[in-house]
Structure 1
Amino acid sequence: MLTAVEPGNAFLAKRRDPADDYLTRARMLVELAVNQRRSTGMLGAGQGTIDALLRPAVPGVLVADHDYLPGTPFAELIRELGLGSSTADLLAVLLASETDPAIAQLLAHLGATSAPTLDVLFDIVYRPRAIAHSQAAAMLHRDLAADALLRRLRLLHLDGVDSRPFLLQTIRIAPRLTSWLLGLRDLDPELAASVELVAPQPVNAPLSVEIVERVAAAIRQRDRVLVLRGARGSGRELVMRAAAHRLGRSLLVIDGRRLPPASLVVALREAVLQRALVFVRDADELFAMPETRQRFAETLGVAHDTIAITGSLATSRPIVEIEIPVPARDARLALWRAFLPEQTSMTKRELREVAGIYNLGVGGISAACKLAREAATISEAMLSRTHIASAVRRMFEGDLATVATRVEVSQEWSDLVLPDEVMASIRGVTDRIAYRNEVLGDWGFARKLGKGLGLTMLFSGPPGTGKSMVAGLIARELGLDLYVIDLSRIASKWIGETEKNLARAFDAAEAGHAMLLFDEADSVLGKRTTDVRSSNDRNANLETNFILARLEQFQGIAAFTTNIASAIDPAIARRMSATVVFPFPDHEARLELWQRLIPAEAPVAPNLDLTGLAQRFELSGGFIRNVVLRGAFLAAREGAPISTAHLERAARDEYGDRGALSTGGRLS
């Protein structure tokens, strides 16, 4: 609707708004300057243009608000975002400039040659809305302020913000918004690698109805951050999908480890356009940097739906925490039976062992079964326990690979030489793993003990005495993957990052039933200091405190080795499930090590004196291994069998490499 008004200066004189007083003064000052330059011939523009600019601009008509046709994408967007009438008209003009060649050419005639400028849009959209110039200008500045809805969601882009006056800046509608308003509703291609849009649909999994309803209730409250607590694979995402289905809403699942921080606002913008709820996996990974947290906080002001996350986040919004527990073994057994095909090669005992070994909830079990089915189909074999083990490894290897390396163990127990009492301690350790489902589950000890049901082992002793080797042998005997933690990748100069890296390793080991080996773990298990003199001391204490708290809750299997037991914090040592001391080998043990480390198929001289070598060189098993291998290469180069001379020369070289001034003393 257009409303005619009286044009010209006479109307302005009768209806001038007091708020335009600044404008009247500014026009007078500018006119004086123009007349001064005109008198000296310094004006470049034509006389007609100058005179037109000096006349007060008064709208010939006032434009009434417009109700856009309901049911159209444009009207739907206006309603969902709660846009005002001036903002809606601004969007309409910008969209038309992108879709209608005639409108684009008309804008060019008005002065917007490459892209619409704000002065042109002011004349088109805002000046006709108010008699007072200042009122129209205020609308423009309000709609395009830095914190305005459309700019915060990057639905509008202004160019020249830092280099041009406001009215000379150009403005474009975001390509994503153009495609959306034209009815193209697929996920933004920028998000394809890190975001999934899930339509509301039933979740085919046995979930707790009570927990799903609690999550749905938290979402209904709006303006919250919902933190879903639980182990990886516990089913947090499935619960969120079920809650979204209950509410009839789509779900935008954001992978916090893969989404670039710069795309966070784009993802939240997509959620607003799709009317989707937001679920962020591994939020602490995404929000690790301060600038990302700042972007998120700014966007929260325009996205009022409750946002669900896994991980942690400091925010001004109220936080609701809901725990998604991993079910007990019998419940896990029922889940495995529900998701596995009817025909497998596993016995009932093997299936019970799988349920006991893998500390997975409904999410992890369903994902593992899907991967195992695919592997069995590819190999054209009946699904077996090997397929399940491989599937679980694939699920968690990404977490462990960032801080650890998987090690293949080739040694046998027969390669190990240790005193009987040490072997008895090691056998006790393996029994605690092999029979823990029976003792903790069937016999009820888990209920009595409450926490710290995992197995943590501290192996101490001089270098080369077999600590790491025993860890590998235990893992091999029990069918576990062994991951050696790389402490250089764990440690970080950033506050809290070391603890986060450790937590990632512990979580993955618990759920995926991998065994962790912290070799030479003094740096993370060292004694805390009460004399804190630097940030390094303070951070070291924090790391030790984190280890203490984590060991109390740990349900996986981990081994820690140290050369100096006294260097370990006493509180951590007390929390270890088992402590095994590896002694330096005596003469008899060294002789046995020399004998076992030379393979039966290796050519040896008939007069090889291993007894003398064991007597003369006080070496631990690791160093004897080095010497034997070194001597074998010397013999191979000469084309001769391994002799005492080769091994003696190799031993002298080993002592020299270790900085020893003489040979024959203890090398450890």
Structure 2
Amino acid sequence: MNTPTNAYASLSGWLGWLRRLLSWQIEQTRFIYGALADDPQRGLYIPDIEADLLAAGPFALPEDLRRQRTALVAERAELERSDTDSSLARLCQRFGLDPFGHDVILLTLAPAIDLGFERLYAYIQDDVTRRRPMVDLALRLFCLEPTAQVAARASFAVDAPLRRHRLIQLLDEGQASPNLIAYGVKLAPRIVAALLGQPAIDDLISPFAQMISPTRSLKDLVLPTMLIDQARRIFAAPGPGPVIALDGAYGSGRQALAEALCAEPGQPMLLINGPQLRASDLPAAEAISRCLREARLSDAVLFWQGADTLLDSEAALAWREALLAGLDQHPGCAFLALSQPSPGRMLRHSTQRALSIPMPNFTERAQIWRQSLGDLYPMSDEDLAALGGTFRISGGQIRDAVQAARDHASQEGRALTKADFYAACRGLSAASISKIAWKIPLTYHWDDLVLPADQVERLREVCIQVRYRRIVLEDWGFEAHLAMGKGVNLLFAGESGTGKTMAAEVIAVELGLDLYKIDLSGMVSKYIGETEKNLDRVFIAAREANAILFFDEADAIFGKRSEVKDAHDRYANIEVAYLLQRIEAYDGLVILATNLRNIIDPAFLRRMHMVVDFPAPKEPERLRIWHKVFPDQAPLDTDVNLKVLAQKYELTGGNIRNVALLAAYLAAESGTSITMAVINRALRREYQKLGRMSMP
């Protein structure tokens, strides 16, 4: 373990060697400039004798200094052979530093351990203000021959490991455009901390980075066995660490899989929050470089959360290029968590691999529900099957739903119920779809429907298709024969007020799902490609929310196609085809409603799983509606003859509700009960609204 005590102990031998090397350098300087040692104004001017010495060039060292230097070289070689696991040795190995780079790190680290080194540097550099080592000092200390010094200058280049990985900084020490060797050299604070056994993450990336020690086990993951085996082979393959792109929905298990893979060899994992990283004030190149440096320091596997924000084609070019360039040079493994599959062209790493994490099937969802519920709320297999079959959500969403249900019940001071889990599942992703669709309040049940028996039976069959699709598609193998169309799409046809929206509400209540109404007119845009983007947002949000989609007035877009006369007609047909494609690909329930079935394109009707006609109610149905429309507490006068109303006025259920509601308001205003007179007045208003000039 790299504790501060262990770190110092492993460095003590190197620090002793550095002291002796500095002592040798002092002796060499005194030998060369000995005649100037007693000059009280030394350093304030350049005397003649110093100019002569500088012009004379390199001096031949006396025998004793040569022997000392030879001994120091041998001592260094022995230290290097024996030092295989110090913090300094690990740093050099992880960042690919050569012996000269190793010694530069040592030179810049020493003052962080003992400030006396700063005074030594100032003394040797003949300037009390230069307490930080200059490039010149590093070259003179570690390279005896001028040719070696010239070659070593390359170690301070921008693309050399010392600077590319931000291990050191070059400081101009107040000079304007100084020569390279006149720059001061500073060790990065994060490197100082790492070498001294202080594991804190770089302060500048700590707000969006977290180092974890994974403990998950692959055998505990609820993922396809083939996927786990493939991921293990890729991760454990010899050679440079691969870049593994993991695409999947929120909570699909991307991070869990990466953690379990890291846990097997005991590697730490550095989590980077991509969206937060991009939103930070750090320049892209610096932010990415610091993250990569942090991973190397701890020999950690990188996990980029929300990597789409850094790689997306619409993202800032600087972020994408910085990440791609950094991964190209990074020797370790890196995971990229994506919400959508990543095209190969987005990454140019030679060891790039892509894995898709699927949404759990029914069996896997039931297993995750059982694990997540534990002893909190024991649930029967039947209830688990109903819950797992209704909501096709990820493992992470299941765990979120359990926590949300628990919190809600706790806030209300009561025990958990099955309804809490249904409500929690419905609320998981409501925020995203609520921005683009209207959530219909669910108030109706089967008893509220007034339809012919055949229509009611067909609506119940819709619920059967949704509720038992798991058995049919997964257990009985029908899914393998369906490339698309794994969901259910319906067309409700009938004039306004015949119960189409009510029927959709009843189905939603029966299935325990939310119902969202989509305004197709708001989806269509005059700009090419925008309509498709709008529809994409709707279906993606609906999939996340496990919602029923209700498209009203579908005839506005699905009417019979006319001859294509111009580009506008052609593009309109493309939009219709695209919407049909998205409806068929959606694995939930889509309901389209129309008042004008006769103008709907027959080709469109053939692609519906079911078409349910909503006829205008006949007298018996109208009487049932009149009875249902007045609540028990409504003051209905004894002179009201509902049978006469049903027999005389051929209205739809929606019209009847409008009449009853207006009559109630009129009665409330006059302070009387709801009489036949106020109902007749309300009837006249409804007929006027319908464009019928006279009442029967």
Q: TM exceeds 0.5? A: yes
Following the alignment from structure 1 to structure 2, what is the Cα–Cα distance between the partners of residues 243 and 134? 48
Which range is displaced more, 254-263 or 105-114?
A: 105-114
SS in 2 for 1:301: helix
Given that residues 528 and 544 in structure 1 are in contact (C-alpha distance below 8 angstroms), is that contact kept between their aligned partners in structure 2? no
Given candidates 528, 541, 560, the residue that maps to 1:505 is 541
Given that residues 7 and 58 in structure 1 are in contact (C-alpha distance below 8 angstroms), is that contact kept between their aligned partners in structure 2? no
Q: CA deviation at 1:295?
A: 2.8
Letter in 2 for 1:555: D
Partner of 2:331: 304
Question: 1:610-639: CA deviations, max 9, x gaps?
Answer: 899999999876676567656655654555
Q: CA deviation at 1:322?
A: 3.1
Letter in 2 for 1:240: A
Pairing 1:214-293 to 2, within 5 Å after superposition? 214-219=230-235, 220=237, 222=240, 224-229=242-247, 232-256=250-274, 259-262=277-280, 265=288, 266-288=290-312, 289-291=315-317, 292-293=319-320
Q: CA deviation at 1:474?
A: 0.8
Structure 1 residues 246 and 584: CA distance shift in structure 2, 3 A: same
Structure 1 residues 99 and 567: CA distance shift in structure 2, 3 A: farther
Q: CA deviation at 1:184?
A: 2.7
- Give % identity: 29
Partner of 2:6: none
Letter in 2 for 1:217: R
Given candidates 602, 625, 631, the residue that maps to 1:599 is 631
Q: CA deviation at 1:199?
A: 1.3
Given that residues 452 and 552 in structure 1 are in contact (C-alpha distance below 8 angstroms), is that contact kept between their aligned partners in structure 2? yes
Q: CA deviation at 1:253?
A: 3.8
Following the alignment from structure 1 to structure 2, what is the Cα–Cα distance between the partners of residues 644 and 439? 54
Q: CA deviation at 1:568?
A: 8.3
Given that residues 393 and 544 in structure 2 are in contact (C-alpha distance below 8 angstroms), is that contact kept between their aligned partners in structure 1? no
Structure 1 residues 241 and 626: CA distance shift in structure 2, 3 A: farther
Partner of 2:509: 476
Question: 1:334-393: CA deviations, max 9, x gaps?
Answer: 555566536855333223333433445766666766777788899898876445435545
SS in 2 for 1:457: strand
Structure 1 residues 225 and 343: CA distance shift in structure 2, 3 A: closer
Larger Rg: 2
Given candidates 77, 85, 97, the residue that maps to 1:71 is 85
Given that residues 134 and 183 in structure 2 are in contact (C-alpha distance below 8 angstroms), is that contact kept between their aligned partners in structure 1? no
Q: CA deviation at 1:326?
A: 5.2
SS in 2 for 1:469: helix
Partner of 1:211: 227
Partner of 1:123: 136
Following the alignment from structure 1 to structure 2, what is the Cα–Cα distance between the partners of residues 112 and 423? 96
Following the alignment from structure 2 to structure 1, what is the Cα–Cα distance between the partners of residues 56 and 434? 68
TM-score normalised according to structure 1 size: 0.68
SS in 2 for 1:480: coil
Structure 1 residues 245 and 524: CA distance shift in structure 2, 3 A: farther
Given that residues 154 and 160 in structure 2 are in contact (C-alpha distance below 8 angstroms), is that contact kept between their aligned partners in structure 1? no
Given that residues 209 and 272 in structure 2 are in contact (C-alpha distance below 8 angstroms), is that contact kept between their aligned partners in structure 1? yes
Partner of 1:457: 490
Letter in 2 for 1:310: L
Q: CA deviation at 1:293?
A: 2.0
Pairing 1:75-154 to 2, within 5 Å after superposition? 75-85=89-99, 87-88=101-102, 91-92=105-106, 95=109, 121-126=134-139, 143-145=156-158
Does residue 315 (structure 1) correspond to residue 347 (structure 2)? The answer is: yes
Question: 1:481-522: CA deviations, max 9, x gaps?
Answer: 33556887999999896576346325424xxx5434455678
Q: CA deviation at 1:428?
A: 2.7
Structure 1 residues 59 and 273: CA distance shift in structure 2, 3 A: farther
Question: 1:132-166: CA deviations, max 9, x gaps?
Answer: 99996886676352x55566656667899xx9747
Given that residues 257 and 285 in structure 1 are in contact (C-alpha distance below 8 angstroms), is that contact kept between their aligned partners in structure 2? yes
Structure 1 residues 106 and 617: CA distance shift in structure 2, 3 A: farther
Name stretches of at least 5 consecutive residues in structure 2 with no aligned partner: 1-20, 33-42, 62-68
Which range is displaced more, 197-206 or 354-363?
A: 354-363
Given that residues 246 and 254 in structure 2 are in contact (C-alpha distance below 8 angstroms), is that contact kept between their aligned partners in structure 1? yes
Name stretches of at least 5 consecutive residues in structure 1 with no aligned partner: 11-44
Letter in 2 for 1:297: L
Given candidates 586, 594, 609, the residue that maps to 1:577 is 609
Partner of 2:18: none
Q: CA deviation at 1:561?
A: 4.6
Q: CA deviation at 1:170?
A: 8.8
SS in 2 for 1:317: coil
Following the alignment from structure 1 to structure 2, what is the Cα–Cα distance between the partners of residues 104 and 134? 28
TM-score normalised according to structure 2 size: 0.66
Following the alignment from structure 2 to structure 1, what is the Cα–Cα distance between the partners of residues 518 and 557? 11
SS in 2 for 1:322: strand
Letter in 2 for 1:296: L
Following the alignment from structure 1 to structure 2, what is the Cα–Cα distance between the partners of residues 601 and 397? 35
Letter in 2 for 1:274: S
SS in 2 for 1:293: helix
Following the alignment from structure 1 to structure 2, what is the Cα–Cα distance between the partners of residues 112 and 532? 83
Q: CA deviation at 1:81?
A: 1.3
Partner of 1:557: 589
Which range is displaced more, 238-247 or 520-529?
A: 520-529
Given that residues 328 and 349 in structure 2 are in contact (C-alpha distance below 8 angstroms), is that contact kept between their aligned partners in structure 1? no
Structure 1 residues 158 and 125: CA distance shift in structure 2, 3 A: closer
CA RMSD of aligned residues (A): 6.0
Following the alignment from structure 1 to structure 2, what is the Cα–Cα distance between the partners of residues 260 and 647? 64
Structure 1 residues 478 and 261: CA distance shift in structure 2, 3 A: same
Partner of 1:294: 321
SS in 2 for 1:472: helix
SS in 1 for 2:329: coil
Structure 1 residues 80 and 444: CA distance shift in structure 2, 3 A: closer
Following the alignment from structure 1 to structure 2, what is the Cα–Cα distance between the partners of residues 648 and 529? 48
Given that residues 116 and 171 in structure 1 are in contact (C-alpha distance below 8 angstroms), is that contact kept between their aligned partners in structure 2? no
Which range is displaced more, 91-100 or 80-89?
A: 91-100
Following the alignment from structure 2 to structure 1, what is the Cα–Cα distance between the partners of residues 442 and 92? 63
